[in-house]
Chain A
Amino acid sequence: MGGCELSLLISAVVWIVTVIGWFVTNSLTKKRESRKEVRETLDKIYDATEALLKSSHTYYCSKDPGEQEVSCCEIYASLEKINGLCSRLENDYKDIKLISKLDSLFEIITGGDFNSINLTRDSTVYINKSKEIALIAETIRREGDNWFNYTFKPK
């Protein structure tokens, strides 16, 4: 092989390695960015779920009409926020299933006598509902974290 041809071959190999390296680096960076974004979204979902639990407790247990009204608004806002976050996540990643858990929370918190003039506000009456709500919130966190660790596990 002549010197010229060898030089061309070396250049070609260097180019190929550079391009492959660029693709690999780009891919790793994208994956790192996605991982960070998804982690942030999941943390926002968990925070909003915690807020929902607190608002729920206030709504069903407080005797103060002002607090009841505010917590009702907070419940609606938290549900919509969680819905938006979960929908975005499920649009991008088809294998995560949190929407069904959110729907269960919606049913438990806003079903029954929610917003009825007949609602009895009493922490002892609320106790069973609060256990169910806490269980679903815990399931959301556990399933979210399991999915995240599986999807973004180091290869």
Chain B
Amino acid sequence: MTTKLISISNNFSQTPAGRYYTDGPYSGEKFRTEILYPALIENELVKVDLDGTLGYGSSFLEEAFGGLIRECKMTLEQIESKLEIHSSRNLYTRRIKQYLVDASKIKNK
């Protein structure tokens, strides 16, 4: 099984911020488009480590992860089978799970 490890702080930015490319250089859209989604396509398992950054805003997280369903047309089941999120701060893992569920519900309406 091919596994990819992504550390947001080491592989992207220690200060991820904003939703879209227009919001800044380290947006959720950029992370999803250039790092996360390609990794999910190319690997059977992707582990994302959220630790090491200053913190995350909801716009960044929702666009980076919720956008997998909304923009990249992945399903919740595909994401759950391929994506593992690691964080010492369960506030973020909890919110990400909610964004994925909410995006899936909207998509299925």
Chain A interface (Cβ within 8 Å of chain B)?
72-73, 75-77, 79-80, 83, 87, 99, 102-103, 106-107, 110-118
Candidates B17, B91, B95, B98; contact of A116 at CB < 8 Å: B17
Q: Which residues of A contact B59 (CB under 8 A)?
A: 110-116
Chain A residues with Cβ under 8 A from B52's Cβ?
Answer: none
Q: Which residues of B contact A114 (CB under 8 A)?
A: 17-18, 57-59
Q: Complex formed: what's the CA distance from A112 to B19 in Å? A: 8
User: Would you give the shortest CB distance from B5 to chain A, in whole angstroms?
Assistant: 23
In the A-B complex, the 4 residue pairs with the closest CB atoms: A76-B55, A115-B17, A110-B57, A116-B23
CA distance in complex: A125, B23 (Å): 18
Q: B23, B62, B91, B95: which contacts A117 (Cβ < 8 A)?
A: B23
Complex CA–CA separation, A80 to B92 (angstroms): 9
Q: Contacts of B23 on A, CB cut-off 8 Å?
A: 113, 115-118
Further 10 A-B residue pairs, CB within 8 A, beyond A80-B89, A110-B59, A114-B18: A77-B55, A79-B91, A103-B94, A111-B58, A113-B18, A113-B23, A114-B57, A117-B23, A117-B24, A118-B22
